[in-house]
């Protein structure tokens, strides 16, 4: 296992545009093993885009990515996975038509020869979900029949069960009840103590601050704020965001940019 | 009072008790939705019984052969089509590929290639047509409904031009039918064996291998599948090529069966029957669900219906009315099923 607090993931000068929309302008970010980084920002700030670039699902227009200190080009999700990067996407990426256990093993199916080893996948999925405290009627049930929170738990279980070294969580608690949310936060803490490097996106700052060691704020396509999590951080972040909001509303935003995610007219 | 209400056991879900007859209907409805394959099989059996009771020649050896011949080739095409439908695509060109393939075999044979080699070349040509279909749909993002409508016309035009729109005798079928010709379609029992073998292999691929799982994922949630790292494009390309090659193989079987190779064979009729069979067998046109066995049963239902209607002496044009209605009903069932799925109930 990699030594904790050694560098897991670093990105430099990442930029990404979608047609006229500049989602990411110049992102610099670093993440260590055994660390939880909270990533926050407005809707449309580019958080999900950044995660998708880090997991090889999208390719940046510019910038470099380093995994374990080595520069890498992430051309595919599979390539990122081989480097130990796993993702819980905001849209969960579950297949409604497939059972819970097939979803959990999708793209890394257990087999006997060329055939699916359904018995083993079913058993392992069940064991893993029990261990995680996830409550589903049965691993045989189609994912379409689960509640929003259950679906989210399955997506998290899928990412965690593949022994990720670097875990990217895009709003993993959005649909969860208080108890289930707390369970996942505990899980994140456990993984952290095992040396896993984690990025967690969230809009509920209390939840983010509960597990994060450090918080990054993404604004206008850049990381504008990078501080260790502390008890006053919540107020500080809220202040920054509200200031920005008031300034925009008055049309006196310092650099004139209104909000990230708007067409670049320059 | 208020306290009592708060602490009372959770209110049981409203168990609306419908009258018994309605409850039975609801149960039957749910059963049909969930046990689609079984339902279609039951319909097929019921139709066999009905036609047998009305016309005792229905189950005669002669008529069974006719039926087998109708079903075999269409079901092979349907097997490929189902896989495409499951991964969210469709191929309308299978009927003209069906007509082209035996001509490729014929011309290869005329140029000194042994017949078996001719079949292989024909299948490769068909796979190449499937590749073009896939390329247009997957990489140029032309909806496959439109792209394959184009290749349907293109391929049948090419067939008509290179053949001068004239049928030829299928090799090995005249003056004497060789055992090679019998093996490749001239004998109904060999023909149905090919069909069953293909259906079993394709169904096993679909439901027992990672490839099948990823095919369902590709059609069920294309974005999610690619986020998981599934190469949806590659999966679709392969299914386009397989569907086209299977259509070509069905065409070869048909040419040996009939003894003449006709540029007008197959066409939109066989394409339509194959897709209708798949739909009746429970394949959703929206992707993500379907079975090859179901498609075989769907094709059987259509075959039995067409054959039976002709036998009992009803004007064969009624077939289209019945089939049209059956397809519509099947589609409604399929849509209803996916609605249930999306609503997360059932
Ligand atoms: N595939 C895409 N095509 C076009 N534009 C996109 C695409 N993906 C993201 N965008 C745009 O990029 C910007 C950033 O989107 P992103 O999803 O990364 O935001 P986010 O920070 O995750 O927001 P939220 O908090 O709402 O999830 C948005 O303006 C969005 O419209
Ligand atoms: Mg997002």
CB A68 within 8 A of CB A45: no
Res. B11: pLDDT tops 50 = no
CB B112 within 8 A of CB B234: no
* Residue A137 and residue A233 in one domain: no
* Residue A16 and residue A141 in one domain: no
Res. B341: pLDDT tops 70 = no
* Residue A79 and residue A188 in one domain: yes
CB-CB under 8 Å, A116 with B229: no
Angle CA B116–B118–B124, to nearest 5: 110
- C-alpha to C-alpha distances, B9 to A137, B1, B5, B14, B16, nearest whole angstrom: 21, 14, 8, 14, 19
Residue nearest to atom 5 of ligand 1 (CA): A18
**Residue B221 with chain A: CB contacts under 8 Å:** 93-96
- Report the pLDDT value the prediction gives residue A252, as an integer from 0 to 100: 53
Per the prediction, chain A carries an average pLDDT of 90
**Phi/psi at A265 (nearest 5 deg)?**
-90, -10
Q: Which atom of ligand 1 is nearest to the CA of A46?
A: 18
CB of A38 shorter than 6 A to ligand 1 = no
Which two three-digit tokens encode residue A4?
């904790």
Rounded distance, CA B202 to CA A32, Å?
Answer: 47
* Residue A118 and residue A200 in one domain: no
- Substitution target in A54, A106, A112, A140 with the highest count of B β-carbons within 10 Å is A106
Enter the DSSP assignment of B265: S
Q: Which of B114, B229, B340 is nearest to A75 (CA)?
A: B229
Rounded distance, CA B76 to CA B277, Å?
Answer: 11
CB-CB under 8 Å, B214 with A107: yes
> Which residues, including other chains, have CB under 8 Å from residue B159's CB and lie 6 or more apart?
B96, B99, B100, B103, B263
Is the alpha carbon torsion for B156, B157, B162, B167 positive or negative? positive
Q: How far is the CA of A22 from the centre of ligand 1 (A)?
A: 10
Residue nearest to atom 18 of ligand 1 (CA): A46
Give the number of other Cβ atoms within 10 Å of residue B123's Cβ.
22
CB of A27 shorter than 6 A to ligand 1 = no
CB-CB under 8 Å, A76 with B213: no
Which two three-digit tokens encode residue B197?
């073998």
- Report the pLDDT value the prediction gives residue B102, as an integer from 0 to 100: 98
**Each residue's pLDDT tens digit, B89-142:** 999 999 999 999 999 999 999 999 999 999 999 999 999 999 999 999 999 999
CB-CB under 8 Å, A95 with B288: yes
A65–chain B nearest CA distance, Å: 19
- Report the pLDDT value the prediction gives residue A106, as an integer from 0 to 100: 96
* Residue A68 and residue A179 in one domain: yes
**Each residue's pLDDT tens digit, A166-175:** 999 999 998 8
CB A241 within 8 A of CB A3: no
Its domain, for residue A137, covers 93-162
CB of A46 shorter than 6 A to ligand 1 = yes
pLDDT class for A118, splitting at 50, 70, 90? very high
- Report the pLDDT value the prediction gives residue B116, as an integer from 0 to 100: 97
**Phi/psi at A227 (nearest 5 deg)?**
-140, 150
Residue indicated by tokens 């809009």 = A203
Q: How many structural domains comprise chain A?
A: 2
Q: Which of A141, A162, A183 is the last residue of a domain?
A: A162
Q: Which residue has the higher pLDDT, A231 or B112?
A: B112
Element (H, E) at A218: strand A214-219
| Cis omega (within 30 of 0) for bond into B175 | yes
* Residue A60 and residue A186 in one domain: yes
Give the start-to-end residue ranges of the domains of chain B: 40-342
CB of A174 shorter than 6 A to ligand 1 = no
Which two three-digit tokens encode residue B18?
């419908």
**Phi/psi at B127 (nearest 5 deg)?**
-60, -35
Report pTM.
0.88
Rounded distance, CA A14 to CA B155, Å?
Answer: 48
**Residue B337 with chain A: CB contacts under 8 Å:** none
* Residue A141 and residue A185 in one domain: no
Which two three-digit tokens encode residue B230?
């599934």
A116–chain B nearest CA distance, Å: 5
Beta bridge partners of A39: A201, A216
Q: Which residue has the higher pLDDT, B8 or B138?
A: B138
Rounded distance, CA A213 to CA A191, Å?
Answer: 13
Res. A107: pLDDT tops 70 = yes
Pairing between β-strand A111-112 and β-strand A115-116 as defined by DSSP bridges: antiparallel
Enter the DSSP assignment of A144: G
CB-CB under 8 Å, B209 with A115: yes
> Which residues, including other chains, have CB under 8 Å from residue B49's CB and lie 6 or more apart?
none
Q: Which of B271, B323, B318 is nearest to B81 (CA)?
A: B271
**Each residue's pLDDT tens digit, A256-265:** 444 444 444 4
3-class DSSP assignment, residue A28? strand
Which CATH number characterizes residue A229's domain?
Answer: 3.40.50.300
Res. B87: pLDDT tops 90 = yes
ipTM: 0.88
Res. A110: pLDDT tops 50 = yes
* Residue A28 and residue A120 in one domain: no
pLDDT class for A253, splitting at 50, 70, 90? very low
- Which of A95, A144, A145 faces B216 most closely, judged by CB atoms? A95
* Residue A205 and residue A113 in one domain: no
The CATH topology of domain B40-342 is ABC transporter involved in vitamin B12 uptake, BtuC (1.10.3470)
Rounded distance, CA A129 to CA B302, Å?
Answer: 45
Enter the DSSP assignment of A35: -
**Each residue's pLDDT tens digit, B157-181:** 999 999 999 999 999 998 999 999 9
pLDDT class for B17, splitting at 50, 70, 90? low
Which two three-digit tokens encode residue B308?
């039976």
CB of A40 shorter than 6 A to ligand 1 = no
- Report the pLDDT value the prediction gives residue A83, as an integer from 0 to 100: 96
Enter the DSSP assignment of B185: I
Instruction: Give the length of chain B.
Output: 346
CB-CB under 8 Å, B224 with A95: yes
When pLDDT is averaged across residues A229-236 and rounded to a whole number, the result is 84
pLDDT class for B330, splitting at 50, 70, 90? confident
Res. A201: pLDDT tops 60 = yes
CB B271 within 8 A of CB B255: no
* Residue A248 and residue A121 in one domain: no
Rounded distance, CA B238 to CA B328, Å?
Answer: 30
* Range with lowest mean pLDDT among A110-119, A251-260, B49-58, B130-139: A251-260
Res. A230: pLDDT tops 90 = no
Distance of CA A152 to the CA centre of its chain: 12
Beta bridge partners of A10: A30, A66
Pairing between β-strand A166-170 and β-strand A197-201 as defined by DSSP bridges: parallel
Instruction: Give the length of chain A.
Output: 266
* Residue A208 and residue A238 in one domain: yes
For the residues of B113-170, what is the DSSP string, one character each? --HHHHHHHHHHHHHHHHHHHHIIIIIS---HHHHHHHHHHHHHHHHHHHHTT--EEP
Enter the DSSP assignment of B281: T
Residue indicated by tokens 């595919």 = A76
**Each residue's pLDDT tens digit, A36-56:** 999 999 999 999 999 999 999
Q: How far is the CA of B223 from the centre of ligand 2 (A)?
A: 15
Rounded distance, CA B105 to CA B111, Å?
Answer: 10
Enter the DSSP assignment of A113: T
CB of A56 shorter than 6 A to ligand 1 = no
* Residue A119 and residue A246 in one domain: no
CB A160 within 8 A of CB A188: no
CB B291 within 8 A of CB B281: yes
CB A70 within 8 A of CB A47: no
Res. B303: pLDDT tops 90 = yes
């Amino acid at each position: 296992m990699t030594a904790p607090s050694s560098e897991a993931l670093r990105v430099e000068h990442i930029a990404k545009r979608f047609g006229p929309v500049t989602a990411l302008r110049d992102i610099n970010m670093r993440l260590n093993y055994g660390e939880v980084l909270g990533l926050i920002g407005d809707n449309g700030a580019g958080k999900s885009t950044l995660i998708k670039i880090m997991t090889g699902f999208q390719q940046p227009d510019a910038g470099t990515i380093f995994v374990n200190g080595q520069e890498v080009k992430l051309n595919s999700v599979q390539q990122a996975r081989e480097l130990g990067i796993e993702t819980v996407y905001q849209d969960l990426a579950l297949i409604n038509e497939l059972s819970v256990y097939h979803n959990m093993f999708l793209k890394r199916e257990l087999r006997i020869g060329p055939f699916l080893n359904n018995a083993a996948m079913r058993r392992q999925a069940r064991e893993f979900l029990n261990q995680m405290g996830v409550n589903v009627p049965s691993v045989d049930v189609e994912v379409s029949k689960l509640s929003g929170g259950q679906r989210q738990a399955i997506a998290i279980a899928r990412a965690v069960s593949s022994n990720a070294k670097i875990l990217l969580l895009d709003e993993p608690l959005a649909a969860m009840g208080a108890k289930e949310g707390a369970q996942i936060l505990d899980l994140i803490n456990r993984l952290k103590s095992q040396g896993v490097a984690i990025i967690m996106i969230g809009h509920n700052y209390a939840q983010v601050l509960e597990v994060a060691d450090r918080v990054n704020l993404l604004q206008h396509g850049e990381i504008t704020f990078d501080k260790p999590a502390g008890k006053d951080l919540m107020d500080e972040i809220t202040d920054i965001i509200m200031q920005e909001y008031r300034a925009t509303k008055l049309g006196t935003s310092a650099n004139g940019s209104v909000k990230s995610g708007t067409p670049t007219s320059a | 009072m208020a306290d009592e209400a708060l602490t009372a056991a959770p209110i049981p879900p409203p168990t609306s008790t419908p009258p018994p007859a309605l409850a039975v209907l609801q149960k039957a409805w749910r059963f049909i939705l969930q046990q689609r394959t079984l339902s279609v099989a039951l319909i097929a059996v019921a139709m066999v019984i009905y036609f047998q009771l009305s016309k005792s020649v229905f189950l005669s050896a002669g008529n069974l052969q006719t039926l087998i011949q109708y079903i075999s080739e269409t079901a092979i095409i349907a097997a490929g089509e189902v896989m495409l439908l499951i991964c969210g695509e469709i191929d309308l060109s299978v009927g003209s590929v069906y007509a082209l393939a035996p001509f490729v075999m014929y011309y290869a044979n005329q140029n000194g290639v042994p017949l078996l080699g001719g079949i292989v070349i024909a299948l490769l040509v068909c796979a190449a047509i499937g590749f073009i279909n896939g390329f247009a749909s997957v990489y140029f993002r032309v909806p496959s409904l439109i792209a394959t409508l184009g290749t349907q016309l293109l391929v049948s035009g090419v067939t008509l031009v290179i053949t001068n729109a004239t049928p030829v005798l299928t090799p090995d079928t005249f003056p004497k039918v060789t055992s090679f010709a019998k093996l490749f379609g001239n004998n109904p029992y060999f023909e149905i064996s090919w069909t069953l073998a293909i259906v079993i292999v394709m169904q096993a691929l679909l439901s027992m291998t990672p490839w099948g799982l990823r095919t369902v994922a590709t059609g069920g949630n294309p974005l999610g599948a690619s986020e998981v790292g599934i190469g949806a494009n590659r999966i679709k390309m392969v299914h386009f090529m397989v569907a086209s090659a299977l259509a070509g193989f069905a065409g070869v079987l048909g040419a040996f069966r009939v003894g003449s190779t006709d540029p007008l064979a197959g066409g939109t009729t066989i394409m339509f029957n194959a897709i209708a069979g798949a739909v009746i067998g429970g394949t959703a046109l929206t992707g993500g669900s379907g079975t090859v066995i179901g498609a075989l049963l769907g094709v059987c239902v259509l075959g039995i219906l067409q054959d039976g209607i002709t036998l009992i002496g009803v004007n064969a044009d009624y077939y289209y009315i019945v089939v049209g209605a059956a397809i519509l009903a099947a589609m409604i069932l399929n849509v209803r099923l996916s609605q249930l799925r999306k609503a997360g109930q059932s």
